[in-house]
Amino acid sequence: MDIELFNKYKKLGRGSWGKDLLMWKTMYTAFLTQNKDEEFTPVTELFLNIFLEIPKARKEGIPIIMHPFNYGPELFHSMNLAPLMQEVFSVGLAPFHFNEPYIDFTNEIGYGDNPTLCNAQRPLIGSYMRGAAPIPDLLFYLSTPCNSLAMTYQVFQNLTGVPGFNIDIPYWAYDKASEFYDGKTIDYLIKQIKELISWIEKETKQKLDLKNLQQTMTQVNQAREYIWEFNELLKTVPCPVPSITGFGNFVTMVTRGGTNDAVKVTKWLRDNAAENVKNGIAGVPDEKIRIAWPYTHIFFDQELFPWLEEQFNAVVILDMLGFYQVLPHDTSTIEKCYESLAKGTLDFSMIGTCRGPIEYYIDFLLNYVKEYKIDCVIMPMQFACKHAYAMARVASEAVREETGLPTLIFGCDPYDSREVTSEEIKERISEFLTQVVL
């Protein structure tokens, strides 16, 4: 980033952000400093703006709605709200280890532990009790991908008294070709989305502008088309981008889905991948191993994937969140827009694979390893993620039976560097790659 740009963002971060945004501001500064000597890309710009927009909204009197990492905020954008994707906070603290004192404090006050509740959200409770968590005007969450998430959001809602709304995600498929098809799935969700809209209208004393919704949904679809093309390009051998690149699409859609910013970033990512494919450029020079990582990455260790690339010429094609699989839907009429919102919610990263029968996840994984010409599967796994924990072994057996590929499943907490350390993780992966894969 050139120095003028760095100084511009430094200046933008100045002034008081409010007491509850003190840690949010610290994260902004840490992120800016961390990126000082890195290339300034549309993804960097998007991240910086995610932080800046919250104090700005507060100053302008725009209601802030907090929501989890498994919901695209297009509806909120179309209703002139400022969405705050909560895990930018509670997970975003992990790379800097800022979350660990809050995990410890959450333990002290007796709210769960790793085997029972996930540390992706748990620091929210401790940080709130310490006066360090952002307090929104409205709170929204879903029943999936896990009971852990829904529980922590409920606790946060009760502690803060912030008005909240939640959606129950149905189990069955909406695709008629699926053996798990149920004709009521989409209608069940559309009904709840309409109730959500009425709730926002009541809380913010404004009406949904249907034209705005249609325009927002059209922009969502445009970005989804770019991501679809990007995901297709990653099937190329060698993979045209380095390991963590696809995660940029996920962050974009879960924070800015439905805006011009999202269209710009997803197009940039697609264009880069396409250009590299055209010129035969690999994301990891001399690519030797293609890894499927069908779970979240290790958030506390940003150096793990670069280490894999350098030590083993290995590329992690996509992690589970970066594997954004939502297809563009029909937005020609308002009713179709509601349907698109519903389908987008059901297919969202981690929801589509974790909301129903285990076959959803197994099919996803089998297609992933076959289509992306994968050499091995790696899954870090934590006890708190009970559904994933239950699925991992069965899914890895299915992969072995159908393709013969090996899987490494190892225990660790992706949010807490102290449970299983970076060194131990690297040791497990090294052993697996050298003794089983190579």
- In the bound state with ligand SF4, the residue whose beta carbon lies nearer, of 309 and 416, is 416
- In the bound state with ligand SF4, the residue whose beta carbon lies nearer, of 142 and 213, is 142
Q: E strands within 101-249?
A: 138-142, 164-167
For 222-250, give one letter per residue: b (16+ CB within 10 A) or e.
ebbbbbbbbbebbebebbbbbbbbbbbbb
Which range of residues in 39-47, 57-65, 145-153, 239-247 is near ligand SF4 by CB under 6 A?
Answer: 145-153
- Identify the three-state secondary structure at position 293: strand
Q: Which amino acid is at 214?
A: Q
Burial class (CB within 10 angstroms; exposed 0-12, middle 13-18, buried 19+) of 12: middle
Asked if residue 118 binds ligand SF4 (CB under 6 A), the reply is: yes
- In the bound state with ligand SF4, the residue whose beta carbon lies nearer, of 9 and 323, is 323
Q: Which of 276, 267, 289, 266 is nearest to 236 (CA)?
A: 276
Cα 186-121-242 angle, rounded to 5 deg: 80
Which range of residues in 47-55, 167-175, 258-266, 382-390 is near ligand SF4 by CB under 6 A?
Answer: 382-390
Which 79-108 residues touch ligand SF4, going by CB under 6 A?
Answer: none
Asked if residue 234 binds ligand SF4 (CB under 6 A), the reply is: no
In the numeric block, which tokens belong to residue 138?
A: 């409205």
Asked if residue 145 binds ligand SF4 (CB under 6 A), the reply is: yes
Asked if residue 349 binds ligand SF4 (CB under 6 A), the reply is: no
Asked if residue 385 binds ligand SF4 (CB under 6 A), the reply is: yes
Rounded to an integer, what distance in angstroms lies between the CA atom of residue 210 and that of residue 190? 15
Q: Considering only residues 120, 227, 291, 377, which one is a binding residue for ligand SF4 as defined by CB under 6 A?
A: 120
Rounded to an integer, what distance in angstroms lies between the CA atom of residue 41 and that of residue 345? 28
Asked if residue 148 binds ligand SF4 (CB under 6 A), the reply is: yes
Asked if residue 353 binds ligand SF4 (CB under 6 A), the reply is: no
- In the bound state with ligand SF4, the residue whose beta carbon lies nearer, of 226 and 299, is 299
Smallest distance, ligand SF4 to C-beta of residue 145, A: 4
Which range of residues in 232-240, 249-257, 285-293, 381-389 is near ligand SF4 by CB under 6 A?
Answer: 381-389
Rounded to an integer, what distance in angstroms lies between the CA atom of residue 411 and that of residue 425? 9
Rounded to an integer, what distance in angstroms lies between the CA atom of residue 175 and that of residue 196? 24
Asked if residue 216 binds ligand SF4 (CB under 6 A), the reply is: no
Rounded to an integer, what distance in angstroms lies between the CA atom of residue 178 and that of residue 364? 13
Smallest distance, ligand SF4 to C-beta of residue 26, A: 23
- In the bound state with ligand SF4, the residue whose beta carbon lies nearer, of 28 and 360, is 360
Q: Are the CB atoms for 283 and 241 separated by under 8 Å? A: yes
- In the bound state with ligand SF4, the residue whose beta carbon lies nearer, of 9 and 247, is 247
Which 271-290 residues touch ligand SF4, going by CB under 6 A?
Answer: none
Q: Any idea what DSSP says for residue 122?
A: T
Going by their DSSP bridges, the two strands 164-167 and 138-142 should be labelled as: parallel
Asked if residue 149 binds ligand SF4 (CB under 6 A), the reply is: yes
- In the bound state with ligand SF4, the residue whose beta carbon lies nearer, of 199 and 389, is 389
Residue 211's contacts (CB-CB under 8 Å, 6 or more residues apart) are none
Asked if residue 255 binds ligand SF4 (CB under 6 A), the reply is: no
Rounded to an integer, what distance in angstroms lies between the CA atom of residue 314 and that of residue 306? 9
Q: Which of 168, 222, 171 is nearest to 340 (CA)?
A: 222
Smallest distance, ligand SF4 to C-beta of residue 265, A: 23
- In the bound state with ligand SF4, the residue whose beta carbon lies nearer, of 32 and 125, is 125
Asked if residue 146 binds ligand SF4 (CB under 6 A), the reply is: yes
Size of the site for ligand SF4 (CB under 6 A): 10
Which range of residues in 143-151, 168-176, 305-313, 325-333 is near ligand SF4 by CB under 6 A?
Answer: 143-151
Q: Residues interacting with ligand SF4, by CB under 6 A?
A: 118, 120, 145-146, 148-149, 296, 384-385, 388
